[in-house]
Amino acid sequence: MTTADTKKKNKPNVSELFGKIFKRQIFIPIAAVLVLLLFNLIVDPGFFSIELTRNSAGNPVLSGNLITILNNGSELAILVLGMTLVTAASGGQDISVGATIAIAGSIILRIVCGTDAKADSASFGIVLVAFLVACVASMAFGAFNGALVSIFKIQPMVATLILFTAGRSIAAWINNNQLPTVSDPSFGYIGGFIPGIPIPTPFIITVICIVLMALLLKFTNLGLYSQAVGINESSSKLNGINPIFIKFLTFVILGLCTAVCGLIKVSRVSGITYSVIAQDIEMDAILAVALGGNALGGGKFNMAASIIGAYIIQILTTTLYAYKIESTALSAYKAIVVIVLVIVSAPAVRNKTKAFFAKLKAKAAAERKEVA
Amino acid sequence: MAFLKKSMGAAKKSKMTDTNLLLTITIVVFVAMYLAAVLFLGEGFLKPQAFFNMLNQNAALIIVSCGMTLVMITGGIDISVGGVVALVSMSCAVHLDHNGGSILEAVLLALGIGLAFGLIQGFLVAYLEIQPFIVTLAGMFFARGMTTIVNATQFNVAHEGFVKLKDTRIIMPEIFGTLNKHGKFIPAYIEIGVVVAILVVVILFCVLRWSKTGRKFYAVGDNNQSALMLGINVKRTKFTAHVICGLLAGIGGFVYFLHVGSGSPSHASGMEMNAIAASIIGGTMLSGGVGNIVGALFGVLSLSTIKDIVSSMGFDEAWWTGITVAAMLCIFLIIQSIVTARKSSSVAKSDG
Amino acid sequence: MKDNVVLEMRNIHKYFPGVRALQNVDFTLCEGEIHALMGENGAGKSTLIKVLTGVYEKDEGQIFLKGKDKAVAIHSPQDAQKLGISTVYQEITLCPKLSVAENMYIGRLNGIGVNWRKLNKDADAILESLDIPAKATQQLGSCSLAVQQMVAIARAVDMDCKVLILDEPTSSLDEQEVAKLFKLMRDLKSRGVGIIFVTHFLDQVYEVCDKITVLRDGQLVGEYEIKDLPRVKLVAKMLGKELDDTTEIKDTSLVYDKEDAGKHVLEVEGLASVSGIKPFDFYINKGEVNGFTGLLGSGRSECVRAIFGADKVVSGTVKKDGKVIKINKPIDAMKNGIAYLPEDRKRDGIIGDLSVRENIILALQVLKGFFKPLSKAEANKFAEEYIKLLEIKTASADTPIKSLSGGNQQKAILARWLLTHPEYLILDEPTRGIDIGTKIDIQKLVLKLASEGMSITFISSETDEMLRTCSRLVVMRDRKVVGEVSGDDMNQSKIMSTIAGGESK
């Protein structure tokens, strides 16, 4: 009797709790990560093994699929930080990030290698200078996009189509279409491992970027302002916010993110291929934002969900590689998973399933009544 | 820019619609550009065949851009078209060469693939209300991936009937022909694909201008809430637009295949962006409700002309093309933004 | 079903998650009748209309139409249109980029093709017969909002509808246009069309309607002949209680009477903005409530927008406490203690997807600066305080503001500005489109704030509301300040004559 009572009492609470969790925006991306990891756990538990090995230079490095995910997902995770803000404030996406990464990479190599398109040594100082110049340049390109979007009121996707078209050409032009390479192994530390630290450097950089972004959101009103601007520009303006500046700012921040990605990218291969570097990364970044459950039409955003979205894509990629799927065919499988995910999280579908369950519940209740 | 000011002033007086205003600007720019090319760069552009070659090379892009324009008018976007073109040409190539299929089957295959993409994407966008960008992005990934799964390497098609069809040239009337330096008469020609492209443009233009369904696309893109209240089936209209766009991507894919005569995973790379660029230059607004099929045609021709001009001016390096196309896009976008601003300011004034 | 009944809705139920929007509602409409549908916000008027027009599906109940034996099923706006039910909404629901003619005919053309010449000719004929100043080939977006509204009505008229629903059609029209609309409504009435008229303006109801159906909290209160239901009773029915006479809000004890009462807080000289208003002078005293009055489009909002810096100022000076201040942007005005509650709540006021809390603290937050976000605890404290103070009805401070009713949204926006503790508060149409209960709350609050020393400008389309709250009125005509009335001069007829261009200057 008493147990039945407590059961009755607890039940709605539990379902309420589930309802709350289910409603949270971050639920779907986390569930997706869990499902993907569970799949790997069932099919091949070895997927999760992490080993401490020594790389060709004799330094200790961690390896394993999970490390690969954290390592390779870095650029996307960094990019998503800026892309989420741009999406929130301007209600559109920047499709020129891949091209801007190419430009940033090209600038870094141009400064490190000079006109010879070859560099045997890359001191810390020159790399730093190169990176800073690339930052300024990327932010300038971000500002160009931002100006088109905020001042000329062109939709972001269309405005950034300009740099998308021209970006890789500009990157090639900066190095006079040569393919510079850096043979100094220390240049590769940024995209690989710093001797003595077994954790991949890109992941460390990602963590730093995420922390910086968290601080930025905590100690400024950037989050509130960009959401307000994204939801209702005219109202924000009357509340003393400058929507033009906020939109502009988000694009400049995204520009900074692309510079960091550019540095990691060129360091990974100690060189550049203009048409291949960061190819399709803009699509992945947009996808990550969407997978995080953020409306691509702007407004409210959840940064953590976006970052998880970025890693979902990387987990998927790594999983597929682990099952020996050719890299060129990868996108087909990726597409299927993406479609499944967006269908599951589509509001129309969610409402229908909710209604369906509600009906089932009502039916069960009616039956119970009848029995009673 | 003086002419722009003038035409905008004229538009203000005659209350020209945005669609017509943007189209006029596009056509004027194209004609001016072509005339400038003829005047300053001479001969090459003066030959009628130069113009026809432009059509020959871009027939597929014209067809795909028409579909893109249609979807953009309804306020959507379809970035899977490049992938579909690649998948279609690869599938047809494999079907003809490896499976020994007939040309008719290949055509049906092309239409089927395009239609399938259109139906599925249209359903997801219209009925499940998923953002078109995401749906067609997935579509693009899928099509590109499938292309390599069908066949991972490039190869030329040796199918006899197909090669014959590919080399078929439709000879134009004599006045377009030229004499070569030996005094031999060389007739001007177009490829079959061009005929298909022109048919597509004409049919779609008529549909958009004079049919009930056509006008619905504009209404839905303009304001889909209003369209719903006006008694238009918004979901079906969006669905139809995506299906037509998919179908046109299929047709465009076959025309592309007919032009290049090979299958390759890297075919038509970036074609979706070219199609979007052509549509925008042709006066279609991504926000929906404004656009024109003839504009898409002129958009493609303008893109092609500017590329020709750049290369014949001696800027042979590949990057110059990218940069000039981008610059042109930039100019047209700013024109669009001015047109929108003009409209909102005139409304504010008449509001009192 | 009686012979002359064109529409009968019976036992209509509609549920939304957690809300019973309609419960057992009946509604009957006769031929040649103008039937007012009244109720406070959230009473279920819009839901009933949307059920009838197929935007929502009803959960229970039947709808009968004349000439149909069985109950009709309406699943979409198309279905409603085919059955002869047309609607003109408050927000313009047309396509601004299409031509006027096309807007009138799209969605209901026969056949496959479009015969443009015939279309334009027909459209012009209708526009002319209804005296609407628009051309068929004109792009709709280039017409004024009022004309766009009339085009929407023209469309409905031409659809040979049996039932015409006008959902708050007059809120963006000025008096002449309203008169034109009423003429049109009476014309249709004589042709046997049944008209459902939803409005917040009581005067208009008594001017044109034959019958009134009152809803409250999703339930039917009753159906009345207009002559049987005097205004006071109607208001009582809508509120569900006898209301103390609204004209007695003006409490003489609520007057600011400190020694600096006559001091000019803000002085404006020759101010003009890009919106096209003529340069105007203006001042406001400490603890005073004044108002701008004039017809729609006379430039009332433009004046206060210029003071707030919402429209770009082209000339003139603004002095605060005798010192010249520079106001280029809203933030400059905010820093000088000026607050502005905008006219269009949806477009300029609320930030729909953000929570009530974020909406309330927004202005204060902006004032504090970009690098000094309020802590969560502070934000919560402020929000809770004002939710309680203004009795904002919301599930929690976390609820998105868009899910609140119009009146509560308005209160939240008011809270936003009160939180900044302004010296000068501008309220532009704070009571438009909200229910009577909240209206009175807001008017009382205005008087109370003024008695505590706040200077307030109050703008409203309803003159009696202004008469109750304001002690001085600035009168405008054709974007120009044409006079000022105060003291004993303040009465309807004096204001009317000033607006119309009488003797005063």
Across the interface, do B144 and A332 touch by the CB < 8 Å criterion? yes
Domains C244-336+457-505 and C338-421 belong to one CATH topology: yes
Residue B349 in domain? no
User: Does residue A1 belong to any structural domain of this protein?
Assistant: no
- Structurally, chain B folds into a number of domains equal to 1
Check CB contact of A231 with chain C, cutoff 8 Å. Answer: yes
pLDDT, tens only, B15-66: 567 778 888 888 888 898 888 888 877 777 777 888 888 899 999 999 999 9
Give domain status of residue B9, yes or no: no
Residue B7 covered by a domain: no
CB B112 within 8 A of CB A329: no
Residue pairs between chains A and C whose CB atoms are closer than 8 Å: 70
Quick one: closest CA in C to B235, which residue?
C76
* Cβ within 8 Å, pair B350-C142: yes
Q: What is the mean pLDDT of residues C29-54?
A: 85
Out of A191-195, B140-144, B247-251, C442-446, the most confident range is B247-251
Q: Which of residues 269-298 of A touch B (CB under 8 A)?
A: 283, 286-287, 290, 296-297
* Helix B81-97 × helix B271-281 angle, to 10°: 130
Crossing angle of helices B81-97 and B48-73, rounded to 10°? 120
Q: Is C351 on the interface with A (CB under 8 A)?
A: yes
Confidence of residue B194 (pLDDT cuts 50, 70, 90): very high
CB atoms A238 and C416 under 8 Å: no
| Cα B125 from chain centre | 21
Expressed as residue numbers, the domain containing B130 is 17-37+44-341
Model-wide pTM > 0.95: no
Residue of chain C minimizing CA distance to B206: C113
Shortest alpha-carbon distance between residue C76 and chain A (Å): 17
The arithmetic mean of pLDDT across residues A322-331, rounded, is 79
Q: Confidence class of residue C243 from pLDDT cuts 50, 70 and 90?
A: very low
Whether A236 contacts chain C with CB within 8 A: yes
Structure token pair of residue C347? 């477009």
For B225, the closest of C93, C116, C138 (CB atoms) is C93
Other Cβ atoms less than 10 A from the Cβ of C160: the count is 10
Tell whether B122 is covered by a domain: yes
What residues of A are in contact with residue B128 (Cβ under 8 Å)?
A: 343, 346, 348-349
- Domain contains B2: no
Q: Give yes or no for C62 touching B (CB within 8 A).
A: no
Highest mean pLDDT among A19-23, A81-85, B159-163: A81-85
Give tens-digit pLDDT for A264-318. Answer: 999 999 889 888 888 889 888 988 998 888 887 788 899 999 999 999 999 988 8
Question: By the CB < 8 Å criterion, does B158 face chain A?
Answer: no
Q: Is there a domain that residue B140 lies in?
A: yes
The per-residue pLDDT for B38 is 83
- Alpha-carbon distance C350 to nearest alpha carbon in chain B (angstroms): 20
Q: What is the pLDDT of residue A21?
A: 62
Q: Is the pLDDT of residue C160 over 80?
A: no
The H or E element spanning position A287 is helix A281-291
Q: Which of B128, B130, B337 sits opposite A152 (nearest CB)?
A: B337
Which CATH number covers residue B120?
Answer: 1.10.3470
| Least confident among A223-237, B76-90, C141-155 | C141-155
Tell me if residue B317 falls in helix, strand or coil: coil
The rounded distance, in Å, linking the Cα atoms of B85 and B81 is: 6
Cα angle C304, C308, C313; round to 5: 90
Q: Which residue has 């238009």 as its token pair?
A: B232
Query: In this structure, is residue B187 part of a structural domain?
Result: yes
The predicted complex's ipTM stands at 0.81
Tens digits of residue pLDDT in C257-289: 777 777 888 999 999 988 878 899 999 998 889
On average, the pLDDT of chain C sits at 84
Total domains in chain A come to 1
Chain A residues whose CB is inside 8 A of the C349 CB are: 235, 238
pLDDT of residue B10: 44
> How distant is the Cα of B278 from the closest Cα of chain C, in angstroms?
21
Q: Minimal Cα–Cα distance from A98 to chain B, Å?
A: 13
Nearest to B215 among C89, C114, C276 (CB): C114
E strands within C236-368?
A: 264-273, 280-285, 289-293, 313-320, 323-325, 338-341
Q: Which of A114-118, A228-232, C309-313, C359-363 has the lowest mean pLDDT?
A: A114-118
As a three-state string, the secondary structure of B182-236 is CCCEECCEEEHHHHHHHHHHHHHHHHHHHEHHHHHHHHHHHCHHHHHHCCCCHHH
C407 near C438, Cβ under 8 Å? yes
Helix (H) or strand (E) holding B73: helix B48-73
Percent of chain C with pLDDT over 70: 92
A108 vs B310, higher pLDDT = A108
- Residue B1 inside a domain? The answer is no
* DSSP letters spanning B85-109: HHHHHHHHHHHHHTS---HHHHHHH
| pLDDT for B296 | 93
What pLDDT is recorded for position B16? 64
- Note the pLDDT tens digit of each residue in B52-105: 888 999 999 999 999 999 999 999 999 899 999 999 999 999 999 888 888 999
pLDDT-derived band at A23 (thresholds 50, 70, 90) equals low
Judging contacts by C-beta atoms under 8 Å, the chain C residues touching residue B228 are: 55, 77
In a domain, A220, yes or no: yes
The pLDDT value given to residue A3: 43
Domain C244-336+457-505 superfamily per CATH:
P-loop containing nucleotide triphosphate hydrolases (3.40.50.300)
Do A259 and A142 form a contact (C-beta atoms < 8 A)? no
Cβ pair C138:B289 closer than 8 A: no
In this structure, is residue A142 part of a structural domain? Answer: yes
Q: Is the pLDDT of residue A11 over 60?
A: no
CATH code of the domain covering residue A251: 1.10.3470
Q: Is the pLDDT of residue A259 over 60?
A: yes
Residues C40, C238: contact at Cβ < 8 Å? yes
Domain boundaries, chain C: 5-243, 244-336+457-505, 338-421
From B268-282, B289-303, C461-475, the region with the lowest mean pLDDT: C461-475
* In a domain? residue A338: no
Domain boundaries, position A110: 25-324
CA distance linking residue A205 with residue A75, whole number of Å: 9
Q: Does A25 touch chain C (CB under 8 A)?
A: no
Chain C residue whose CA is closest to B224: C95
Measure A353 CA to nearest chain C CA, in Å. 14
Q: Does A194 touch chain C (CB under 8 A)?
A: no
- Residue A167 belongs to some domain of the structure: yes
**Quick check: B3 pLDDT over 50?**
no
CA distance C44 to chain A (A): 23
| pLDDT of C55 above 70 | yes
Could you tell me if A224 lies within 8 Å of chain C, comparing CB atoms? Answer: yes
- Identify the closest residue of chain C to B222 by CA–CA distance: C95
Q: Report the topology of domain C5-243.
A: Rossmann fold (3.40.50)
Level-2 CATH architecture, domain C338-421: 3-Layer(aba) Sandwich (3.40)
Look at residue A24 and tell me whether its pLDDT is greater than 70. Answer: yes
Query: Does A212 reach chain B within 8 Å, measured CB to CB?
Result: no
How many Cα atoms occupy the beta-carbon half-sphere of C176 within 13 Å? 9
Q: Can you give the pLDDT at residue A61?
A: 86
pLDDT band at B342; cut points 50, 70, 90: low
Residue C471 sits at φ, ψ, to 5 deg, of -105, -5
